[in-house]
């Protein structure tokens, strides 16, 4: 996760540098203005991605899945684990 965070910070710094360069540049047909707007949006998006915690996004889904399965499901899994019955059920023998 740290590597991804560092990559995102580096991307944000590159976008910010290009943003600063375009702020002082004048190109024909208002191209620099549109590029400046896009880079402004990219900087805000990178800031939002850096501030959001991935655990928060996963936690929301986990609660819904747990509620969908119900308590009986977890009781059954726990009983299988205690008796070492986890995994795929054995294949039935075919008569010859």
Render pLDDT for 62-85 as a digit per residue (tens, 0 to 9): 667 777 878 788 788 777 777 666
Render pLDDT for 11-51 as a digit per residue (tens, 0 to 9): 888 888 888 887 787 777 777 778 888 888 888 888 887 77
Burial tier of 36 (Cβ tally within 10 Å: 0-12, 13-18, 19+): buried
How far apart CA 24 and CA 36 sit, in angstroms, is: 10
Banded model confidence at residue 89, pLDDT cuts 50, 70, 90: low
Q: What is the pLDDT of residue 62?
A: 64
Banded model confidence at residue 56, pLDDT cuts 50, 70, 90: low
Q: Cα 10 to the chain's mean position, in Å?
A: 18
Ranges of each domain in the chain:
2-52, 56-86
Per the CB < 8 A criterion, the answer to whether 41 and 58 are in contact is no
């Amino acid at each position: 996760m740290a590597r991804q965070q560092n990559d995102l910070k580096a991307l944000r710094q590159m976008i910010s540098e290009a943003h600063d360069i375009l702020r002082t540049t004048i190109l024909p047909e208002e191209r620099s203005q549109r590029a400046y707007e896009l880079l402004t949006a990219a900087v805000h998006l990178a800031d939002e991605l850096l501030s959001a915690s991935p655990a928060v996004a996963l936690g929301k889904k986990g609660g819904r899945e747990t509620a969908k399965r119900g308590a009986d499901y977890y009781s059954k899994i726990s009983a299988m684990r205690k008796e070492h019955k986890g995994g795929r059920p054995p294949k039935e023998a075919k008569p010859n």
